[in-house]
Homo-oligomer: A and B are copies of this chain.
């Protein structure tokens, strides 16, 4: 079967691999579409994750059950695989159903970190790592994984503000990548006003999409993150979805009292002077919080399916506009548009 693998940084290749033979408890899934995001590009560039000799790329997938192999699935069901797997035997995090809380040495991540991903015609997936979704959601099913990342982050955010009356007036998403853009309609349902900060021109399709779901665009070349309160208003929530290292401290400066910043991006090293006293004071005196979040658990994937079903059609259209056949996987990995994906069985 065809698969896109990475053997050395910068050079993903389309290769022939044997079709996997599902072990007991595993489902054979025919992959339909695989989304591409910034993490995939970092993996290809060798800047994220780890590749042991050869790794199939892709972690945002939707497929169809080809062989239930004795599990509770039915042939033809539309499914999405989760990303994390135990490295060897199940450990406590996987036993609890909280793989997203596993430290990095207690998990591998399909297509990212030490395990084959989903950009292949067939994959064998243990049934507990598969999620059903309605067939009508199949064309955009590769958005379940990124939406699950937002679902987990917002669960942590909401929990952190649960002891008091948290005012949901304004939320700001940092980043106009696919994760940031997908988060906007979710926040639009929960906050009075939603802002989106990026480095794109106003006529860029990503900015137009952000504005089409009701977000106010802030060009970071004109207004820095910590200037947002002065230029617009202080934010009750900031979602950092770029991985730009200075954003952690800058986000705190953008927060209203009692606000919280969720960090989702994974930055590279970046040393810089910081006014630590001010950062510390703003956190304490303003009851502010900074919350890191990575990956997602099964319940977050389930939440993501609900959110996917509720996405405006214009968003789904924009996110499924650039789907390439497998032979053109390099275009999907290269192009900086709202979202790209690879289709395996057109």
Contact = CB atoms under 8 A, between A and B. Distances in A.
B269 A96 contact: no
Contacts of A281: 266-267
Question: How many protomers of this protein does the assembly include?
Answer: 2
A269 B274 contact: no
A343 interface: no
Interface string A256-270: 011000011111111
A100 interface: yes
B272 A284 contact: no
Given A270-B276, A277-B269, A155 B163 contact: yes
Contacts of A282: 292
Contacts of A271: 273-277
A249 interface: yes
A297 B284 CA distance: 15
A131 interface: no
A284 B269 contact: no
Given A263-B283, A289-B289, A274 B272 contact: yes
A208 interface: no
A104 interface: yes
A59 interface: no
Given A96-B165, A165-B98, A266 B283 contact: no
Residues of A in contact with B, size category? 35 or more
A249 B270 CA distance: 14
A274 B274 contact: yes
A160 interface: yes
A285 B263 CA distance: 10
Interface string A283-299: 11111111111100100
Nearest to A257: B103
Contacts of A249: 274, 276
Nearest to A282: B292
Contacts of A159: 159-163
Contacts of A294: 284-287
Contacts of A279: 245, 248
Nearest to A96: B165
Nearest to A297: B164
Contact of A273 (B243, B258, B272, B297): B272
Nearest to A249: B276
A196 to B, nearest CB: 20
B280 A276 contact: no
Given A285-B266, A285-B292, A292-B285, A276 B163 contact: no
A160 B155 CA distance: 9
A278 interface: yes
Contact of A265 (B103, B266, B284, B291): B284
Given A96-B165, A266-B285, A289-B290, 5 more contacts: A100-B164, A103-B258, A103-B286, A248-B276, A267-B281
21 contacts: A98-B165, A102-B257, A156-B160, A156-B163, A156-B287, A159-B161, A164-B297, A248-B276, A248-B279, A267-B280, A271-B274, A271-B275, A274-B274, A274-B276, A283-B290, A284-B292, A284-B293, A287-B292, A287-B294, A288-B292, A289-B290
